[in-house]
Structure 1
Amino acid sequence: MNPILGEVFYALILLTWVIFVSFPLTRWLYSLMRGRGLSHGVAIYFNRKVIHILAGGLIALLVPHLFSTPLIPLSMSLILAALLYIPHWRGELLTWFQTPENLFEVHFCIAWGLAITAGWLLTGGDFRLGVIPVLYMSFGDAVTGVVRNLIFRRRTKSWWGNIAMAAVCLPIGYMLGLWGVVSALVASFIEHFEFGPIDDNLTIPLSSFLILYLT
């Protein structure tokens, strides 16, 4: 098979997986959680973390093995960002994981694609620089949200969540040595803070990316 056609084929499979996770799977999970007494807000944020892990994190792990350049992954991430923005623009939210309060899921898609692309470009073809920060954002931040929801039953910031995030991110960062560990700790710390419209889906990959690139 032509390599480019092969990558397009992989992209279509992954896109189908993302659609499955974002629509039937998390919609079913939302109904299940609501039926068990969880509030609307808690169910939404649990679902967001499911999407972080099964879509963002899993696919980021596969990118270096399936794609020779970040062109197709970047295109996919920007298309998904646009598709997720449209319900906000039209006022017809996907209520099982979107909220009118923020556009964080849109930020996630954009940061995912830009981090992977920038890492590949700045290293001359090594995906690791971009993938590692994306894994912090996908797996680490997801664990943070799950822990907080289990403890507080609402979306809030707590250092317990950041400790859980560090436990997940440190082994990932360790693969890149000392500065990988430092980047994991910084990402786990900075997740605790939000700066207006700039949320942790932007600050986590940006801060850890800069540490890894500059060191």
Structure 2
Amino acid sequence: MVDSQLLWCAGLGAWAFAIVMAIKPFHAYLMSRGCEDMVAVYYNRKVAHMVAGGIPLIMCPIVFTDPIYPLLGGVLGSIGLAATHITNRRLWWMQTEQNMNDATFAFMLGISVYVLWHYLDDAWLAILPALFMAYGDGVTGIIRNKLFAKRTKSAWGNLGMAILCIPLGFFIGKYADPSIPIWGAISGAVASFVERYEFGPIDDNVLIVIASSAIIAIGVHLGPLM
């Protein structure tokens, strides 16, 4: 009998692929409303982050008991997305030749969940940094696109991300063992701050996940602040 977790992994992968294909008409819709191509691309990328990446991510603690499956999904997704860049067959409605951040998103999602799940033995805490990346950074990008109609960094986007990520971190941290709501909130604040920065190939996806993961690991090690 086929392992049910493997079936879930395949099913969630199919969901992600279907969403990436399904948002193609949204690019045309945005263009018809006067958006520039690059603005439409980045709107679509954020939708992909939240729906194609975020929903399978939320499902991970529910359907998996082994973190190898989120790792497998993230790595395979990253390879597939990177291949479209390398072969110059980009998914033009959500990818740009300027960067491969969509591929690093998938990779960081998979690797962070795997490492934190093993280290913390808490599936919900393990997905928290990737949730910051999927939904927090998604909100940030949408706000900036709406305000500036281009890909740029702005404190308004970081504020929007913080409004989402700080309570999200508090909530998930509260129900962890040990309960670390303040550390969870701090991790959300740190993720919202570092999103502003990129250092060459080290993009904001990498910084969000590494910085917030470090805070969560410290919090679990030191215990509750209150």
TM-score scaled by length of structure 1 = 0.95
Alignment-derived partner of residue 223 in structure 2: none
- SS of residue paired to 2:199: coil
Aligned counterparts of 2:56 and 2:88: Cα–Cα separation in 1: 29
Alignment-derived partner of residue 134 in structure 2: 138
CA contact (8 A) 1:119 1:128 kept: no
Quick one: which amino acid aligns to residue 213 of structure 1?
A: A
Worse overlay, 205-214 or 52-61: 52-61
What displacement does 1:117 show? 0.3
The reply to whether residue 171 of structure 1 matches residue 175 of structure 2 is no
What displacement does 1:7 show? 1.0
What displacement does 1:130 show? 2.1
Moved over 4 A (4+): none
Of 36, 39, 44 in structure 2, the residue corresponding to residue 39 of structure 1 is 36
Structure 2 unaligned residues grouped into runs of 5+: 174-180, 220-226
The reply to whether residue 192 of structure 1 matches residue 207 of structure 2 is no
Alignment-derived partner of residue 177 in structure 2: none
Aligned counterparts of 2:138 and 2:17: Cα–Cα separation in 1: 19
How many aligned residue pairs are there? Answer: 211
Quick one: which amino acid aligns to residue 155 of structure 2?
A: W
Alignment-derived partner of residue 145 in structure 2: 149
RMSD: 1.1
Residues 28-83 of structure 1 deviation map (CA, whole Å, 9 limit, x = unaligned) = 11111111111110011001100111022111111001001111111111111111
Identity rate, percent: 35
Of 54, 57, 76 in structure 1, the residue corresponding to residue 54 of structure 2 is 57
What displacement does 1:128 show? 2.4
Alignment-derived partner of residue 93 in structure 1: 90
CA contact (8 A) 1:11 1:72 kept: yes
Residues 115-153 of structure 1 deviation map (CA, whole Å, 9 limit, x = unaligned) = 100111102x31123201011000000000000000000
Alignment-derived partner of residue 222 in structure 2: none
What displacement does 1:193 show? 1.1
Alignment-derived partner of residue 118 in structure 1: 115
Alignment-derived partner of residue 209 in structure 1: 213
Alignment-derived partner of residue 18 in structure 1: 16
Alignment-derived partner of residue 9 in structure 1: 7
CA contact (8 A) 1:129 1:209 kept: no
TM-score scaled by length of structure 2 = 0.91
Structure 1 unaligned residues grouped into runs of 5+: none
The reply to whether residue 158 of structure 1 matches residue 161 of structure 2 is no
What displacement does 1:211 show? 0.5
CA contact (8 A) 1:129 1:213 kept: no
Quick one: which amino acid aligns to residue 203 of structure 1?
A: L
CA contact (8 A) 1:166 1:188 kept: yes
Aligned counterparts of 2:70 and 2:131: Cα–Cα separation in 1: 15
Residues 74-117 of structure 1 deviation map (CA, whole Å, 9 limit, x = unaligned) = 11111111111111111121100111111100100110001100
- SS of residue paired to 1:166: helix
CA contact (8 A) 1:44 1:97 kept: yes
The reply to whether residue 182 of structure 1 matches residue 186 of structure 2 is yes
Quick one: which amino acid aligns to residue 135 of structure 1?
A: L
Quick one: which amino acid aligns to residue 140 of structure 1?
A: G
